[in-house]
A and B are shown apart, each in its own frame.
Chain A
Amino acid sequence: MGRGPRVERRKDGGLVLRDLPPAIGLALRELRELLRPDGEGRPARLAGSPYAGDEEGDGHWRRHAEPELRHLFESARTTVLRDLEGLAPESIFRGGLRLPIPAKHVAAWLSTLAGVRVALGDRHGITAFEMDAGFPTDIKDARDRAVLLVHLLGWVQGLLIDPEEEPGPGE
């Protein structure tokens, strides 16, 4: 019998997400589509300057920061897509899925999941009320599906964050 979804920490610091339910498996497989070059999960927030009306700052940001941000996103995206190839059934006797994530990939996973969730939220105008309402049960259209994916991928993100962990600067 499965023991419910959980995170196992390996001796090398890597994580194994164990006994993931089928809905999470579907969301993780959907992640691959969302991260395609034309996918809905491509973050728009990377673009745009943080300076409000400061021309010098805007120009500097466009020239230097935006290309670096795009590079960081692509690098994290590649890491996540590679790790997703390890998503597999626990065994032929158990329905759950397992996903190993090396320790040095956890930061890439956290930022990629955040990026995809924020991109879906921006694109579909998902509200705080919908986030507080929990998992939607009646999926009627693409927007409902996006709300569900934001919740499911957030559940994975929460699983990866150890509340006792003290993340080091520059991790």
Chain B
Amino acid sequence: MAKAPRTGTQVLEETRTDLAKPWKVIVHDDPINLMVYVTRVFMQIFGYPRPKAETHMLEVHRNGRSILWTGGREQAEVYAMKLRAAHLLATLEPVEE
């Protein structure tokens, strides 16, 4: 089946779709930061209740990384910045389709 010719509207829609692609906020393990500190940072930045924050902290500790949040790129970058400001090792990865 032949593709429909591209129009300006289609290109714009593709761009919007790309911007709206979800991104993962990932925190990686490091040997230095205290567990209680990491838990506190997760509660503070994401507003998670203590049990959820502790679950993520333990996942980082045991598995080397944990996905803390998934969503729009702009908000993901804000979270990454706050995590870096707290000196945690945070990265951003696009969600694979």
Q: Is the CB of A115 within 8 A of B87?
A: yes
Q: Is the CB of A114 within 8 A of B37?
A: yes
Query: A130 contacts which chain B residues (CB < 8 A)?
Result: 31
Q: Is the CB of B91 within 8 A of A52?
A: yes
Any A CB within 8 A of the CB of B58 = no
Q: Given the known A-B contacts A117-B32, A128-B31, are A57 and B92 also in contact in the complex, defined by CB atoms under 8 Å? A: yes
Contact-residue bracket for chain B: 20 to 34
Q: Is the CB of A50 within 8 A of B92?
A: yes
Interchain CA distance A158-B31 in the complex, whole Å:
16
Q: Is the CB of B32 within 8 A of A118?
A: yes
Query: B85 contacts which chain A residues (CB < 8 A)?
Result: 69, 72-73, 111
Interchain CA distance A147-B31 in the complex, whole Å:
12
Q: Is the CB of B81 within 8 A of A127?
A: no
Interchain CA distance A163-B45 in the complex, whole Å:
17
Question: Which residue on A lies nearest to B48, using beta carbons?
Answer: A169
**B68 CB to nearest chain A CB (Å):** 12
Render B21-62 as a binary contact track against A, CB cut-off 8 A, 1 for contact.
000000000111110110010011101001000000000000
Q: Is the CB of B92 within 8 A of A126?
A: no
Interchain CA distance A40-B35 in the complex, whole Å:
23
> Which A-B residue pairs are the 4 nearest by beta carbons?
A128-B31, A121-B32, A114-B87, A167-B44
15 further interface pairs, Cβ-Cβ under 8 Å (given A50-B90, A57-B73, A65-B84): A46-B84, A51-B92, A57-B77, A65-B77, A69-B84, A117-B32, A118-B32, A120-B32, A126-B31, A158-B34, A161-B36, A161-B40, A163-B36, A167-B40, A171-B44
